[in-house]
Amino acid sequence: GIHFTVRHTTEASEEELLRLLEGRLRRMLRFGTTTVEGKSGYGLELEGELKMLRVLHRARSTQPVDIVATYCGAHAVPKNMSAGEAARRIVEEHLPALERERASGRLQVENMDIFVEKGVFELEDSLAMMRAAKAQGLQLNFHGEELNYLGSAEAGANLGALAISHLEHVSAAGIAAMAEAGVFATLLPTTAQILRLVPPPARDMIAGGVAVALGTDFNPNAFCLSMPHTMHLACTLMKMNMCEALVAATINAAGSLGVADRCGSLEAGKKADFVLIDSPNWEHLIYQIADPPISAVYKNGLCAYSALTAGGGSSQ
């Protein structure tokens, strides 16, 4: 569970965490990912959360994949604390400390995530943390309606959240509120498959006008580094078509992180991030399940990975 990973993350050095992150980012790059959201959430204590965010900050300069950082100190309730006590500590201690780190330039953090769930952080405590995060200029990008319906989609829409993830139990009212407010739905079919959950109602969201994005949800519970595999699951589990999965994995995914102005599509003025595919049709990226036919990945117009050299490296 989360607390098992918290213990091991707390015991690990910053250097060890950086080494693990760099290796995983290299593997993601080989599957065509050029921008990721990286989260904390396995520290829970302030120093552990800051340690994870420092690792994300350092990794921005050690490898080519762009990282959008999310503070997720409300991932679980620490042992020997109530949810209310944990939420107050985040508002009164964690967020002010994070604001100081951001203001000094020592950290670049864009989003706040909260596990809004029955028995974890329920709506009242979650809303208090969301309001405090928004007051500091953090975007809201949180877990909602994964295991139980709490009305978090409606609440997030009312607060102007950028994105809400999971959404297996979102209501029709929640879908309508998200569509009206322009909130992205970040769907995670890997988690639905592994936990044997009813998949999120992607078809209802698309029909209702919600912009659907996809994520691997890479974590100890869903050890998936492949967006092509995630796109495949979106089609087979959530009944999205391949064009919808492509949009959800590119421009909508960028939008869900607030970076669609610079990546997510090939347009004048945006980064030249793209993949070359060795197949007769682009759909083979999704069709070939475990080993997508990616021959090269370009980041900022330079080759960051080549299947021919199996090591990549930057070149024209």
Write the pLDDT tens digit of every residue in 259-269: 999 999 999 99
* CB-based contact 226:212 (threshold 8 Å): no
Q: Are 192 and 200 in contact (CB under 8 A)?
A: yes
The pLDDT, as a whole number, for residue 119 is 96
Instruction: Give the pLDDT band of residue 246 (cuts 50, 70, 90).
Output: very high
Q: What is the pLDDT of residue 39?
A: 98
Mean pLDDT score, 139-155: 98
Q: Given this model, what pLDDT does residue 210 score?
A: 98
Place 122 in a pLDDT band, splitting at 50, 70 and 90: very high
pLDDT bucket at 1, cuts 50 / 70 / 90:
confident
In the numeric block, which tokens belong to residue 59?
A: 């990794």
Model confidence at 226: pLDDT above 80: yes
Q: Is the pLDDT of residue 46 over 50?
A: yes
Q: What is the pLDDT of residue 309?
A: 87
Q: Which residue has the tokens 């347009």?
A: 267
- pLDDT tens digits, residue range 277-316? 999 999 999 999 989 999 999 999 999 999 998 644 444 3
Tell me the C-alpha distance between 88 and 129, whole Å.
Answer: 8
pLDDT in tens, 181-223: 999 999 999 999 999 999 999 999 999 999 999 999 999 999 9
pLDDT tens profile 74-115: 999 999 999 999 999 999 999 999 999 999 999 999 999 999
